Amino acid sequence: MQAELRAPPVSKARLWAGYVASALPALGLLMSGVMKLLKPAAVIEGFAHLGWPHDFAFALGMLEIACTIVYLIPRTAVLGAILLTGYLGGAIATHVRLGEQFVAPLILGLLVWGGLYLRDDRLRALLPLRK
């Protein structure tokens, strides 16, 4: 017998808040991924500043776009959030190594999980917030 996690159904307001909170990081990550594919001068300079070979830009851009697409598909959103957490963790580690601010990837990660938490009743059942 399999125990099934149940949470109260998602209200329309919570659902829309979740969609907005999920769309913000998704749009930013998709834009970032496309810029890595196009490799304008600013991306090349940024990679040099971060100590990454600019040859990695295409692969990182594809990875970023793929993880974001997995996140945007409702059936695979939790897997996408896990993958994006790893990706953004690498970005945080890169900035910490250089002694720079890492607030942007941290906020993106929080929005990824926060948006998913608001719109997915299974995740809220798995991780209930206590009153």
pLDDT at 122: 86
- The predicted-structure confidence for 39-56, as pLDDT tens digits, reads as follows 999 999 999 999 999 999
Dist. CA 26–CA 32, nearest whole Å: 10
Q: Is residue 56 part of a domain?
A: yes
Q: Is residue 107 part of a domain?
A: yes
- The predicted-structure confidence for 52-74, as pLDDT tens digits, reads as follows 999 999 999 999 999 999 999 99
Q: Is residue 7 part of a domain?
A: no
Q: Is residue 5 part of a domain?
A: no
pLDDT beyond 60 at 119 = yes
Q: Is residue 6 part of a domain?
A: no
C-alpha to C-alpha distances, 119 to 18, 69, 79, 91, nearest whole angstrom: 5, 17, 15, 26
The residue segments making up the domain with residue 27 are 12-126
Dist. CA 63–CA 78, nearest whole Å: 17
Given pLDDT bands bounded at 50, 70 and 90, which one contains residue 11? confident
**Residue 46 parent element (H or E):** helix 41-50
Q: Is residue 40 part of a domain?
A: yes
Tell which residue, 58, 30, 50, 35, has the closest CA to residue 93: 50
Structural domains counted in the chain: 1
Q: Is residue 4 part of a domain?
A: no
Q: Is residue 70 part of a domain?
A: yes
